[in-house]
């Protein structure tokens, strides 16, 4: 078990499905047998086993070697990792009150165990002894990378601290683990707590039928009359886009943009406490800020590089973004709108202008984006690029009736992975979309273990009358998460901490974001986009409209993303605790990127799970960083052909299969032939030259 992986963990006991080898196909988790009461005893036993394995490494009388120390540590705690992956993934995708309480109870134990490893002086002494002789060991590239990563992980997790400072380190990491979980629970609870209940039919008459049906289905599910809008994106966004009722939209917008700010599920104090404790942790380890600490192990390498990167992205696009907003405001006036255009007005008028400008809207596109057809298209894309195929297997247990499991096979028929697909929102699932793993790929004692990959989304649910019809944004989201899945599926290495998506945070979004490009390629859409009722292919003129409209408000969307990066970097660049309010701090941090009017009380930080509970602290810039990479990388597909097997093969060989076995810039240059340039992104967005 790697030190960095210890934060996620798992356990055992007889007649406990978590304590024995799974009898399900491919050793997949027995979700059909796992119950809440199984977790705690399983974790406790797995921690004991993992401790014994680590103790055996420390007590080994033989001199430290790569095999008896570095490899042995890498493969220790496998059961703990497996149970951890099950529990914490389900705590995100299908949680309940008991699991949330358990998470708060178990996390300190797991953090303490991780600290016991990283702060063990005898273990670090063995690791260092191997590291100091690294140049004479004859290691291959992957082994050398593992040794370097293991040594750095110890050093960056307090191994060289004094005993007094080690105790402080333990206290800080345990507190941060607890705060992160509490932040996530508050955010989910605040999202679920709000509903916009409408009983007046005139308030929904103007909405497209699919929006009304979705709202009615939501109300019925809650045993309420009329129509209900929630803060889940598939519910909220269509209402904001198609309703002209400013009063209701303002209420909805304010609720969404102030989640967990005040009230029962307040995260404001937690945000400041997380930032403060992260600063203390960084200072303890010898760094001026938490950003300095985190960015040391990133492609960007340091905070000045990230800040310069974000500044250039903002400076080059802010005028174009302001022009985007101005165009919507001017258009709204032609539609009789009076007063200042506010954020809750933007979606409605931007959709109307888009329809007028390109003769395209979501109502036109959605009938061609039936979820099953989109999934077919995504699978077909993988087959055309890489030769892989997907086969549903109903014998593989799933954790919710909505989830489906697929076997993935390579072009030569070799089994590659199990892929779980979990599409629809529910109260037990956090918002957003993500890819994760229940098991990563590795090779131990000559036996290859293939991965168990999961894609989780919150797409528009089917209703009694209509199947799940995706918006264009949801189509690109599925392509994005599927790109992450391919990164895991194609993993081809030895050590689990270096395979699949175990790469630098600012590199991990390249495989996902490049996939989004196919969403606006006619040659791809022609393969699968058919009307869900008639079976007729999407008309060529509609596809052309999608292509023409792909850069609509691109600068505005770009600057919004940059603002999230600025917000993130501000929180993690503090050199002393934040004294003022969360809202004031955020307002100042994002002021240069504030394109729409600022609304008192708006706050992203209190529900910004990516940076306060999701692993993107001082790393949200990664999305834009990866956009530069993917814009440059996809240009090669455009040059050679969007289904070109040679380019795809090189991308698989040099990017998707390698994981973290080599430095990402080396891998990228090997694929593309040169380092990426920011200009590729501006060209893609249609923003003028320098």
Give the integer Cα–Cα distance in Å for 379 and 371: 12
Q: Which of 138, 336, 112, 366 is nearest to 246 (CA)?
A: 336
In 3D space, the residue among 544, 538, 512 whose CA is nearest the CA of residue 622 turns out to be 512
Distance (Å) of CA 595 to CA 129, 252, 472, 564, 680: 55, 20, 24, 13, 24
Q: Pairing mode, if any, of strands 434-439 and 227-230? A: unpaired
* Choice among 49, 74, 351, 481 that is catalytic: 481
> What phi and psi values does residue 436 have, to the nearest 5 degrees?
-150, 180
Q: Which two three-digit tokens encode residue 232?
A: 């889940």
- CA triple 187-188-190, angle to 5 deg: 65
Give yes or no for a contact between 440 and 450, defined as CB atoms under 8 angstroms apart.
no
User: What pairing do the DSSP bridges indicate for beta strands 452-456 and 415-422?
Assistant: parallel
DSSP characters over 500-519? TT-S-TTTTTHHHHGGGGGG
φ/ψ of residue 122, rounded to 5: -70, -40
Instruction: Determine contact, residues 317/628, Cβ cutoff 8 Å.
Output: no
3-state secondary structure of 642: coil
Whole-angstrom distance, CA of residue 686 vs CA of residue 224: 47
**DSSP assignment of 290-336, as one string?**
HHHHHHTTSSS-SHHHHHHHHHHHHHHHHHHHHHHHHHHHHHHHHTT
CA atoms within 13 A on the CB side of 214: 25
Can you read off the two tokens belonging to residue 298? 């990133």
* Burial label, 268 (beta-carbon count in 10 A; 0-12, 13-18, 19+): middle
Look at residue 682 and give its three-state secondary structure: helix
The length of the chain is: 690
Active site residue 356: no
Tokens of 641: 């052909």
Active-site amino acid positions: 481
């Amino acid at each position: 078990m790697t030190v960095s992986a210890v934060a996620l963990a798992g356990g055992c006991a007889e007649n406990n499905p978590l304590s024995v080898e799974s009898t399900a196909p491919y050793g997949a988790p027995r979700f059909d047998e796992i119950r809440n009461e199984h977790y705690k005893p399983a974790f406790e036993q797995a921690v004991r086993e993992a401790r014994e394995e680590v103790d055996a490494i420390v007590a080994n009388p033989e001199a430290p070697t790569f095999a008896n120390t570095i490899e042995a540590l890498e493969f220790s705690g496998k059961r703990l990792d497996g149970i951890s992956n099950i529990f914490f993934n389900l705590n995100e995708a299908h949680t309940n009150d008991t699991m949330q309480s358990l998470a708060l109870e178990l996390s300190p134990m797991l953090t303490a165990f991780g600290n016991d490893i990283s702060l063990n002086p005898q273990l670090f002494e063995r690791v260092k002894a191997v590291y100091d002789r690294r140049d004479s060991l004859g290691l291959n590239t992957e082994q050398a990378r593992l040794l370097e990563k293991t040594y750095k992980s110890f050093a960056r997790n307090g191994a060289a601290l004094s005993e007094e400072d080690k105790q402080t380190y333990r206290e800080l990491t345990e507190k941060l683990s607890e705060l992160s979980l509490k932040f996530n629970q508050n955010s989910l609870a605040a999202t679920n707590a709000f509903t916009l209940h409408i009983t007046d039919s005139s308030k929904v008459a103007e909405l497209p039928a699919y929006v009304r049906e979705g709202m009615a289905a939501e109300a019925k599910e809650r045993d309420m009359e009329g129509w209900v809008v929630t803060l889940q994106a598939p519910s909220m966004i269509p209402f904001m886009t198609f309703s002209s009722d400013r009063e209701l939209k303002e209420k909805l917008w304010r609720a969404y943009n102030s989640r967990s700010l005040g009230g029962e599920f307040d995260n404001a104090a937690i945000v400041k406490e997380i930032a403060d404790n992260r600063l203390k942790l960084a200072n303890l380890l010898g760094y001026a800020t938490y950003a300095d600490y985190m960015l040391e192990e990133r492609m960007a390498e340091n905070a000045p590089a990230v800040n310069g990167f974000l500044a250039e992205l903002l400076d080059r696009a802010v005028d174009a973004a302001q022009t985007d907003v101005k165009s919507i405001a001017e258009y709204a006036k032609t539609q009789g709108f009076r007063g200042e255009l506010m954020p809750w007005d933007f979606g409605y008028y931007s959709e109307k202008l888009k329809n007028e400008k390109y003769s395209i809207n979501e109502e036109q596109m959605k009938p061609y984006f039936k979820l099953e057809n989109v999934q077919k298209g995504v699978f077909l894309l993988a087959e055309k690029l890489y030769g892989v195929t997907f086969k549903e297997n109903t014998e593989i247990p799933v954790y919710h009736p909505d989830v489906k499991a697929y076997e993935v096979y390579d072009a030569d028929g070799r089994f590659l992975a199990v892929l779980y697909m979990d599409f629809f929102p529910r109260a037990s699932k956090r918002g957003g979309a993500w890819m994760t793993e229940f098991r990563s790929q590795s090779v131990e004692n000559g036996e290859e273990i293939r991965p168990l990959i999961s894609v989780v989304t919150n797409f528009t649910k089917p209703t009694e009358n209509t199947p799940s019809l995706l918006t264009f944004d949801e189509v690109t989201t599925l392509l994005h998460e599927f790109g992450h899945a391919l990164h895991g599926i194609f993993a081809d290495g030895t050590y689990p901490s270096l395979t699949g998506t175990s790469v630098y945070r600012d590199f991990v979004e390249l495989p996902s974001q490049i996939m989004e490009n196919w969403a606006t390629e006619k040659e791809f859409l022609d393969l699968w986009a058919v009307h869900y009722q008639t079976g007729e292919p999407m008309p060529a003129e509609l596809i052309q409209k999608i292509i023409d409209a792909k850069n609509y408000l691109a600068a505005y969307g770009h600057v919004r993303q940059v603002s999230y990066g600025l917000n993130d970097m501000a929180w993690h660049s503090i050199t002393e605790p934040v004294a003022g309010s969360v809202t004031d701090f955020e307002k100042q941090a994002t002021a240069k990127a504030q394109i729409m009017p600022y609304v008192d009380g708006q706050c992203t930080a209190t529900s910004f799970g990516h940076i306060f509970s999701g692993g993107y602290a001082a790393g949200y810039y990664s999305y834009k960083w990866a956009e530069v990479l993917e814009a440059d990388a996809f240009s090669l597909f455009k040059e050679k052909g969007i289904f070109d097997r040679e380019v795809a093969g090189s991308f698989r060989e040099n990017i998707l299969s390698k994981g973290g076995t080599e430095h990402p810039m080396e891998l990228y240059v090997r694929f593309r032939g040169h380092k990426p340039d920011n200009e590729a992104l501006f060209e893609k967005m249609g923003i003028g030259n320098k």
